[in-house]
Structure 1
Amino acid sequence: MQQIPLSEKLFHGAVSVEKAKDFMKPWRIPYNKKDFFYPNCISGQAEMPAGVRIKIRSNTQAITIGIVEAAELMEMDCVIDGTLVKTAYIPAGETMVSFDALTGQTKLIEIYLSQKVPVKVSGVWIDEGAAWERVDDTRLHWITYGSSITHCYYSDSPSQTWPALAAHKLDLNLTCLGYSGNCHLEPMVARMIRDLPADFISICAGINIVGGKTLSDRTFTPALIGFIQTIRDVHKNVPLVIISPIFHREREKAENEVGLSLEKVRREIRQVVDMLKRHGDQNIYYIDGLELFGEEFERYMPDGLHPNGEGDKIMAVRFQQLIESYVPISRIKT
């Protein structure tokens, strides 16, 4: 087999790529500033490559990805011309994963890395003599920020998270900033989004803020305003969607110790969006999380909080429908 030279240009959906002698590792924060993303690189979530994929165009009939020993079971997906053809289950200690029996035609190959486990890629190999080229993704760039509901630990596989499915349906180039257990309107994340290229941005915030009691009824609204305005320092006219929390029965009405419930957070998010519109931001949009994934879909949340694989598919379809209703694609593409 022939080895493809490792390059950060092979990785799509990463914010940065750590380069070592024997591997490259995608990150969802700037690796050279990782100490700023307190605590511990957003609680260790930023090194898990949700939404990150290796992408080439080739007529190879097999592709092999080398990895530094998997610390635990991980999954990777092989997607050909937008269609999932195989999910590989890679046991702890394994250093190679292969996808074969591919067609001999020239095709777009995307290898979605695990969204649950950090991945150090040590090499990429294709058939001897096969033609290949790196791919520049010229589609509009979508950045989505959120919690575990956006990170999608419980999806069927890495390419079947709701952001990955929605990006495919909307024909967008995805960067997923879903950080499980986090999404507390971290100022460094706002600065990072501000400094990344973006044609469309979505933010789904509130559920962990209520659950973790990290912001109160006094501090939530100003923190959200500041987060949005930091992004607007650069992305002044980019369509920006603010999504309130999806349904979670336990936290809907009961206020926590610092005065927030999900119902109250939804009202405050709506008020912030309306206020910013009054002050001239005509490209900011509000989506009620109950429209995205409301009580009628509770059966797809086995733990009452996180959508399962089928729930993610529903969320992807609902997100597509809501975006096409509230934020016409023609507005994103102008």
Structure 2
Amino acid sequence: MPTHSNRTTTPITTPITSDLLRGALDLEPTPHGVLPHRLPARARAQYTDPQLAMAESQPSGVRLLFRTRATTVELDTLPTKRTYVGAPPRPDGVYDLLVDGQLTAQATVTGGNTVTIDLATGAAEQQPGPPATLSFTELPDGTKDIEIWLPHNETTELVALRTDAPVEPVPDRGRKVWLHHGSSISHGSDAASPTTIWPALAASLGGVELINLGLAGSALLDPFTARAIRDTPADLISLKLGINVVNADLMRLRAFAPAVHGFLDTIREGHPTAPLLVVSPILCPIHEDTPGPGAFDFDALAAGKLRFLATGDPAEVAAGKLTLGIIRDELSRIVRQRAADDPHLHYLDGRDLYGERDFAELPLPDDLHPDAATHRRIGEQFAELAFTAGGPFTGNGA
């Protein structure tokens, strides 16, 4: 008996709209298509820092999600790839394809724009390039949910979505939404692919929908980031704070504590009772007792290796300079102080995610960022501590 099929030999082009995306807070029309952003336009307008602009436009945690019977899916994208003068070449960004929640295929694309950055001077030069096509074929027959996780480390304009069967948005799956904010480690620096950055791994283990506001170099207690978190619907919120404040040498102790209080106050305006977890930095030996600023190790760069070092003077701690040890003490103190009036506020020492024992087994390759295996370790340990019985994301209000 013949069965009905709505597949067609003529590709169907579906407009890429916000109802087909998860993890983006804004969708900007461009001459080529649309550009997902992880900060809203109002936040982006308040400080046009190139590092922040690059970080928030890299779609870490952003994925296309749709339901279809299609066995062929094509996606035209315009990536912006980065190269660094004198540094080893960076691999192309990876796209992860999930079918009904299972990783089924991975792909990369060549072409696109290229930004060449001189680490010595900070100068950047952009070379335009053409869009490229990503193609997934021989997908399972029948109705299924397709997720295409975009590269966490490449700005990615979405140009066109083509399939051999109609697509429709996926209805609410009844999962809680977890919004996480952090630094380049949360952004996914040096992870193998977008579903293996530690927040994505933890979200999968916890059975939640991720909004990842990990912003490389930009977890700096900016008020516009706090307002973005305040205004974004979420059931669970975590903030991994501290490393960027140290390696940017942005604040002294006098400014840091009030800034943390203000950040939390703003978030609580929109999420008064949501479980809110403050996470201090993971172990990072170069900054444990040595203040910033952090810097590239140019001797290592001359040998073809990318490494970082701390350039501050530990003697300056007495004048209020910050180290990771001081940051942890302050964050713990602030959470204890506020928890008397905020029972849904919690603290997690980042060294419980990656500490001395982890460092001995899995050292940081560039002295700052975890590698792929360490992302998995951090994601698994976060899920164990936050999402299992007795964790801050399983109690009252969660």
Which interval holds the TM-score relative to the shorter structure?
Answer: over 0.9
Aligned AA (2:152): Q
Say yes or no: does 1:86 pair with 2:105: yes
Within a 5 Å distance, the mapping from 1:284-299 to structure 2 comes to 284-298=345-359, 299=362
Pick from 80, 85, 95 the counterpart of residue 132 of structure 2.
Answer: 95
Counterpart-to-counterpart distance in 2, 1:300 and 1:89: 28
Counterpart-to-counterpart distance in 1, 2:148 and 2:289: 42
Structure-2 residue corresponding to 1:232: 268
Q: TM-score, normalised by structure 2?
A: 0.79
Q: Deviations over 1:8-46 (max 9, x none)?
A: 211110010012354011001113552214424724211
Pick closer, same or farther for the CA change 1:108–1:189 going to 2, 3 Å: same
C-alpha contact 1:300 1:310 (8 A) present in aligned 2: no
Counterpart-to-counterpart distance in 1, 2:42 and 2:322: 36
Pick from 46, 62, 76 the counterpart of residue 56 of structure 2.
Answer: 46
Q: What's the secondary structure of 1:46's corresponding residue?
A: helix
Pick closer, same or farther for the CA change 1:36–1:248 going to 2, 3 Å: same
Say yes or no: does 1:204 pair with 2:265: no
C-alpha contact 1:70 1:90 (8 A) present in aligned 2: no
Within a 5 Å distance, the mapping from 1:113-262 to structure 2 comes to 113-127=150-164, 130-137=165-172, 138-255=174-291, 256=312, 257=316, 258-262=320-324
Shift of 1:311: 0.8
Structure-1 residue corresponding to 2:143: 106
Q: Which runs of 4+ in 1 moved over 6 A?
A: none
Give % identity: 32
Counterpart-to-counterpart distance in 1, 2:42 and 2:13: 28
Worse-superposed segment, 89-98 or 66-75: 66-75
Counterpart-to-counterpart distance in 1, 2:337 and 2:324: 20
Q: Deviations over 1:247-303 (max 9, x none)?
A: 01111123554421111110110000000012x100000000000111222224211
Counterpart-to-counterpart distance in 2, 1:276 and 1:215: 22
Q: What residue ranges of structure 2 are gaps of 5+ in the alignment?
A: 1-10, 83-91, 113-130, 292-311
Counterpart-to-counterpart distance in 1, 2:68 and 2:133: 20
Shift of 1:6: 2.2
Number of residue pairs the alignment of both structures matches: 330
Aligned AA (2:352): E
Pick from 376, 380, 383 the counterpart of residue 320 of structure 1.
Answer: 383
Q: What residue ranges of structure 1 are gaps of 5+ in the alignment?
A: none
Counterpart-to-counterpart distance in 2, 1:300 and 1:107: 40
C-alpha contact 1:285 1:326 (8 A) present in aligned 2: no
Structure-2 residue corresponding to 1:34: 44
C-alpha contact 1:17 1:31 (8 A) present in aligned 2: no
Aligned AA (1:191): R
Q: What's the secondary structure of 1:18's corresponding residue?
A: strand
C-alpha contact 1:55 1:109 (8 A) present in aligned 2: yes
C-alpha contact 1:41 1:47 (8 A) present in aligned 2: no
Counterpart-to-counterpart distance in 2, 1:150 and 1:24: 24
Pick from 248, 251, 266 the counterpart of residue 328 of structure 2.
Answer: 266
Pick closer, same or farther for the CA change 1:168–1:37 going to 2, 3 Å: farther
Pick from 95, 114, 135 the counterpart of residue 76 of structure 1.
Answer: 95
